[in-house]
């Protein structure tokens, strides 16, 4: 399924996967695989808190979707941040 694929491609497993999914990191990584000519730069852990990284990643992801003409409704940020992986 999609989440198994995302775990493999992101390199995050279990709880770290869930945390990075909530921060938008996993979705940015998947976007970079699908759209390699339009990569999203991931925020470094060394200079950003987890919440800052989440804000940066989600902002970048939503801009990317908009730029590519992909409906924002495909990604329910609020549900994903709450841990609802069915979003």
Region 71-76: mean pLDDT is 87
**Per-residue pLDDT tens over the stretch 25-64:** 999 999 999 999 999 999 998 988 999 999 999 999 999 9
Note the pLDDT of residue 14: 87
pLDDT at 80: 84
**Global confidence as pTM:** 0.86
- 3-class DSSP string for the chain: CHHHHHHHHHCCCHHHHHHHHHCCHHHHHHHHHHCCCCCCCCCCCCCCCHHHHHHHHHHHHHHHHHHHCCCHHHCCHHHHHCCCCCC
- Is pLDDT above 60 for 87? no
């Amino acid at each position: 399924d999609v989440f198994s694929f995302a775990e493999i491609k992101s390199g995050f497993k279990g709880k770290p996967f869930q945390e990075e999914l909530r921060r938008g990191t996993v979705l940015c990584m998947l976007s970079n695989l699908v759209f390699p000519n339009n990569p999203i730069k991931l925020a470094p852990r060394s200079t950003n808190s987890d919440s800052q990284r989440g804000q940066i990643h989600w902002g970048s992801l939503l801009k990317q979707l908009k730029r590519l003409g992909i409906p924002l409704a495909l990604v329910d940020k609020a549900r994903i941040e709450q841990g609802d992986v069915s979003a």
